[in-house]
Amino acid sequence: MKISAQEEFGLRCLLQLARASAAGESLTLAQIAEREGISVANAGKLMWILNKAGLVRSQRGIKGGYYLARPASEIHLNQVIRVLDGERVDSHCKSYAGVLDACVHTGDCGIRPVIVELHQIVDNALSDITLSQLLDTEANVDAALHQIHITKQRSEQRA
């Protein structure tokens, strides 16, 4: 259970764009790459993925660059992760079938619900966090996340 490099760096780059967009600016690939310490080529690949998914927009030409497609407060982390993950969210059992296919095709499996539930929990937790919330200091972000967690539980309790 870990976060891939694409998810990690993609999210970081998005945060850079979020910061820039607060000042109404756009960032070129070279700027993004320099600020995150990755190669220009790699930044280009990440931006291509994010652009294709509609999370960022690009302006070509001599005064071009990248900027967020929507305000940072309207971009939720679960969308970001899903995009950077290559949409492989629902392919667990298909890929880890081994030689036998007993586990895949036999309807009754005790592990599948665990996997499904786990992804729901993660997705649910991430859906409450927006890019704009991550622009604060680490201490404040941490406090905000805990606050969200508690609030969430209360609202679910009422439901």
Partner DNA sequence: GCTAAACCTTACTTTAAAGTCAACTTTCAA
Partner DNA sequence: TTGAAAGTTGACTTTAAAGTAAGGTTTAGC
Q: 66 touches which of a second copy, ligand FES, DNA, none (CB within 5 to 8 A by kind)?
A: DNA
66 touching DNA, by CB under 7 A: yes
Q: 1 touches which of a second copy, ligand FES, DNA, none (CB within 5 to 8 A by kind)?
A: a second copy
149 touching DNA, by CB under 7 A: no
Best CA proximity match to 121, nearest among 75, 142, 84, 152: 152
129 touching a second copy, by CB under 8 A: yes
CA distance 107 to 39: 46
Q: With contact defined as beta carbons under 8 Å apart, do 156 and 148 qualify?
A: no
Choices 13-21, 38-46, 131-139, 147-155 (CB under 7 A): range interacting with DNA: 38-46
11 touching DNA, by CB under 7 A: no
Q: With contact defined as beta carbons under 8 Å apart, do 38 and 9 qualify?
A: yes
Kind and range of the H or E run holding 31: helix 29-36
113 touching a second copy, by CB under 8 A: yes
CA dihedral for 117, 120, 125, 131, sign (positive or negative): positive
Best CA proximity match to 55, nearest among 6, 13, 4, 8: 13
149 touching a second copy, by CB under 8 A: yes
Q: 22 touches which of ligand FES, DNA, a second copy, none (CB within 5 to 8 A by kind)?
A: none
Tell me the CA distances in angstroms from 9 to 91, 109, 113, one per residue in order: 23, 35, 30
Site residues for ligand FES per CB under 6 A: 93, 103-104, 109, 111-112
Which residues form the interface with DNA (CB under 7 A)? Answer: 4-6, 9, 27-30, 38-39, 41-42, 44-45, 47-48, 51-52, 58-66, 86, 96
